[in-house]
Chains A and B, each alone.
Chain A
Amino acid sequence: MNVFKILEAKENSKLFLLGNEAAVRGALESGVSVVSTYPGTPSSEIGNVFSKIAKAAHVYFEFSANEKVAVEVSAAAAASGLRSFAFMKHVGLNVAADSFMSVAYLGVNAGMVILTADDPSMYSSQNEQDNRIYARLANVPLIEPSSPQEVKEFMKYAFDISEQFHLPILFRTTTRVSHMRGVVETGKLVPPKEKGFFKKEPNKYVPVPQNSRRMHKELMEKMNKLAPLISESPLNKVFDFGNEIGVITSGGAFNYVMDVVKEYSLPVKILKLGFSHPFPEKLVLDFLGEVQKVVVVEEVEPIMEKEVLAIVGKYGLNNKIYGKLSGTMPRIYEYTPDIVKNGLFNTLGRKIEAKEILKPESAIPSRPPVLCPGCPHRATYYAVKDAIKELGLKDVIFPSDIGCYTLGIQKPYETADFLLSMGASIGTACGFAHATNQKVVAFIGDSTFFHAGLSALANAVHNEAKAVIVIMDNRTTAMTGRQPSLSEPVNGMGGEAPELSISDIAKAFGVKFVETVDPYNLHKTKEVFKRALQYDGLAVVITKHPCALITDAEKRKRNFWITFRINQDKCTRCMVCITDFACPSFFVAEDGSVHIDPLICDGCGVCTQVCPYNAIEVRR
C-alpha cells in the first residue's frame, strides 16, 4: 500500500491498515504536531510511515538518538502547548523511564501520548516484560486497543483525556495488535498547530524536592479525579452472550475471547477494558454482581487479575476468580485462540474434543534468520575470526549488542557471547576487561552506538578498559527496517542533516587506537584487527560499509547487477566458502559440487577473497 493513503484518505474511507499504520492516522486525526521515536520492533512501522509523510502533514518528526530523548522531545512540545506523540518498543520504555516518570509529575499542557509496543512471546525482543506495570509505577492512565480500528479511535480519545487531565497517557499495544492488519474507517484530519509557546513556570516544571513533593500530591489528585470516570468510559464495554461465567479481558487477548465465544456459542459475559488504569472499580464491581465465576484473560502478567482479586477482598465478595494465579491460564508467552478456548472450556466445565493434528514426517530444514547476502557484518566477523586464528588467541570474549549483527551468535561465526541491552556491549566489555585476563572484542552497530554506547565508551576510556570495540557502521538502523542513524547525513523527514563522525568522537574521547576500515577488504580488515588485538589498551575499530539492502537498492536503480559463479574446474570442494564464510547464496548440489544461486547472490564479491583456489568468478 502507498503509505501516503494514510494521510490522503478522505473521511469515511475504508483502509486496510496495520495497527501501527492506524496509530499514525489516529495521531493525525488528533492534530498531533510533534512526533518522536527510536525504531524498535514491533513499533517500527509507525516511524517508517511518519518519516515519509511528516513533511506533507506539517508535523515535526524525528528519529531520536534513543527512546529517552524521544520522550524528552515530546514532553517539551507538550509543555509548549503542542500535541505530541512518542512511541517505542517495550524495552525502549526502560531507556526512557527516568524522564517518563518525571513527565507524570510535571504533567502536560497539550495532549501527550506515549505508545509502548509490547512483545509477548518475544518475536523480536530480549524479553516479554509487561509495560502495563509502568502505568502503575508512574501513575498515569493506561489505554489498551485490540484492533487497528481501535488503535486509531483510542488514540483520539487518549489525546483528549491527556489534555483534559494534564497527564501523559500510556498507550499499550502488543505485537499482535501492532502487526495485525484490519479494516480502518477514517475520520477527519485535524490540522496541527505549527508552533507552540513555552510559558515559564519553574515551580510547575522543575521537580526539585520542594516542588516534587507537591507534584506527587497533584498527580494523585488528578488520578483520583479521573478514576470514577473510567467506569463510564466508552472504551470499556460489556459483550453479553450469557451469564454462566464472566470474562475480563483487554488488548489482543480480547480478540481470541470473542472468536472462541462466538464459534462455540459459549454462555459468557465479557467485560473488555480498553481503559484499564486507573482500574474501573465500580464497573468491575457491577460485573462481579452479575457473574459468580470470572476468568481474567490477559497476556503476560496477572495484573488485572490481582486488581479484580483486590476488589473481591475489599468488598468481601464470594466470586471465584480464575486466571494465571489459579493456574487456569498460562503464566508466560502470548495467548492463542486454543489457549483461550482451553481456559474458557475448563472454567465452564466443558470437555474439549481432541483434534487430530497432521504432522510432517519428512525432515524439514531449519531456516533461521540469516545475515543477508552481501552483509558487511559477515565480512567483519570473517576477518576478526581469521585475525584471532592467526594470532593463536584463545577464549576471546565477544560481548554483543542489539542489531542484525546479533546473528553472529550462529555458526560458523559464534561472535556473540554476552548480551544485555542496547549499548551494553561496551559496558560489559569494560567489566570483562577488568574481571578476566581474556581478550575482549565487543561488537556494536552505529545506531546502537549513538543510542547508548557513547557514555559506555567514555567509561571505557576513563576507567582504562583494555578491549577492542568494533563499531560496525553500516550507515543505517538496519534490523528495524533501515531508518536513518545519526551517522547518516539525512534526518527522519528525509531532509539533509549533519553527519556525525564516529571516528572523530572516539578520538575526542581520548581513544588512542582508532582505525576505520572497509570490511569488504578482508585482508586489510584482518590486519587492522591483528594490530588492535595486540594493542595494549583500548582500541576502536570502525568497520564501515553500507548495509547490503541499501547497496542492493542502489544497484537495482542503476541497473548494475552482477553475480558470481563457481568455476567447477578450479573448485576443489574444500568447503571454506560454506563452512567459514556461510553466505546464504552458496549451496551444495546432490553430487557434492558447490554452487552460487544467482537469485540470492548480491554480487558483493567478498567470497572471491575467501576462496583459496580463486574458483569464484563473475558470472557472464
Chain B
Amino acid sequence: MSVYKIHLTGVGGQGTIKMSTIIGEAAIKRGLNVVMSEVHGMAQRGGVVTTDLKIGDAHSPLIENGDADLVIGFEPAETLRSLPKVSEKTFVITNSARIVPFTVGLGLSEYPPVEQIISELKAKVKHLFVINAEELANKAGNIMSLNMVLLGAATAIPHFPIGKDEIIQAMKENLPPKTIEVNLKAFELGFKEVSG
C-alpha cells in the first residue's frame, strides 16, 4: 500500500503527541507499519509542537513540503504555519480557537484576526474542515479533550487508513480510565463535524 502521511501541529500542552501515539498504536492494531517523529526538549509548554506520522512502507518519519495527506492543526495560526506541507491532495482540519503567544502582548509579533487566517486557508486549501474544537471539548465536558475532538474529525476523513474501532480501542489503552467517557464523547462530536 502507498504511504499515508499525517502532519500534526499545535502548541505545547494541547495533546498533539498523545493523539499521534493513539493513531500509531491503532495502525499497529490494523497490522500496518507506522513511523512517527516527535519533538521534545526546550519547550515544556507554550512552544510549537509538531509531529509527523507515516503509515505504510516508510523508513523516515519526516514529511516533506507539499507531501502530507492530512494536516491537523490544533491552533489556527499553527495550521497556517504548516501550509507548506499542503498540496492539492491534502485534507486539512483546523481548530478555530486561538492561543495568543506572549510575544504579541510584548509587541514583538502580531496575531491577525482568526477570520483572516480562516479565509486565507479557505482560499488555498482544497479540502478544509474548520472546527471549533475548544467549544466541542467543553461541550463534551472538558477542554482537555480537545485533542480527541480532532482525532474524531481525522478518523472521519476520506482515505484515513485506520478504522474507528481500532482508534477507540487505542484510546482506551492510552487515556486515564476516568476520562474515557468525556474523551469518547469528544471523539464522536469531532467525528460528526466531518462525517456530517
Contact = CB atoms under 8 A, between A and B. Distances in A.
Interface centre among B40, B102, B109 (most CB of A within 10 A): B102
A44 B33 contact: no
A257 to B, nearest CB: 8
A343 interface: no
Given A255-B60, A369-B44, A584-B102, A363 B109 contact: yes
Given A181-B37, A369-B45, 15 more contacts: A16-B28, A41-B42, A176-B60, A179-B37, A183-B33, A336-B62, A358-B87, A360-B81, A364-B77, A364-B109, A365-B104, A367-B48, A368-B101, A369-B44, A369-B46
Interface in B1-50: 11-12, 20-21, 24-25, 28, 33-48
Contacts of B101: 365-368, 370, 584
B35 A181 contact: yes
B117 interface: yes
Given A181-B38, A363-B109, A599-B143, A368 B59 contact: no
B109 A360 contact: no
B60 A366 contact: no
B60 A369 contact: no
Interface string A57-101: 000000000000000000000000000000000000000000000
Given A252-B60, A364-B81, A147 B103 contact: no
A582 B103 CA distance: 9
Interface string A35-62: 0000001101100000000000000000
B64 A336 contact: yes
A367 B10 CA distance: 11
B59 A146 contact: yes
Contacts of A570: none
B54 to A, nearest CB: 9
Contacts of B58: 259
Contacts of B35: 147, 180-182
Contacts, number: 177
Interface in A339-392: 355-370, 372
A372 B46 contact: yes
A359 B77 CA distance: 13
B192 interface: no
Given A179-B37, A357-B65, A579-B106, A368 B84 contact: no
Interface string A239-254: 0000000000000101
B44 A181 contact: no
Contacts of A368: 47, 101, 103
Nearest to A412: B106
A338 interface: yes
Contact of A363 (B37, B43, B110): B110
B40 A179 contact: yes
A16 B59 contact: no
Interface of A: 1, 14, 16, 18, 41-42, 44-45, 123-124, 146-147, 176, 179-183, 252, 254-256, 258-259, 262, 336-338, 355-370, 372, 404, 411-412, 478-479, 481, 549, 578-579, 582-584, 586-588, 599
B108 A366 contact: yes
B50 to A, nearest CB: 12
B124 interface: yes
Nearest to B38: A179
Contacts of A255: 59-61
Contacts of A147: 35, 59
Nearest to A124: B41
In the A-B complex, the 10 residue pairs with the smallest Cβ-Cβ separation, listed nearest first, are A124-B41, A369-B43, A255-B60, A255-B59, A369-B47, A181-B36, A258-B59, A41-B41, A365-B109, A370-B46
Q: Which of B45, B47, B78, B143 has the most CB of A within 10 A?
A: B45
B112 interface: yes
A14 B80 contact: no
B83 interface: yes
From A14, A16, A481, A549, residue with most partner B Cβ within 10 Å: A16
Contacts of A183: 28, 33-34
B47 A367 contact: yes
Nearest to A263: B3
Contacts of A360: 80-81, 83, 120
B83 A365 contact: no
B111 interface: yes
B28 A365 contact: no
A14 B28 contact: yes
Most buried by A among B39, B44, B86: B44
A195 to B, nearest CB: 35
A256 B54 CA distance: 13
B158 interface: no
Contact of B45 (A146, A358, A370): A370
Nearest to B26: A16
B174 interface: yes
A1 B110 contact: no
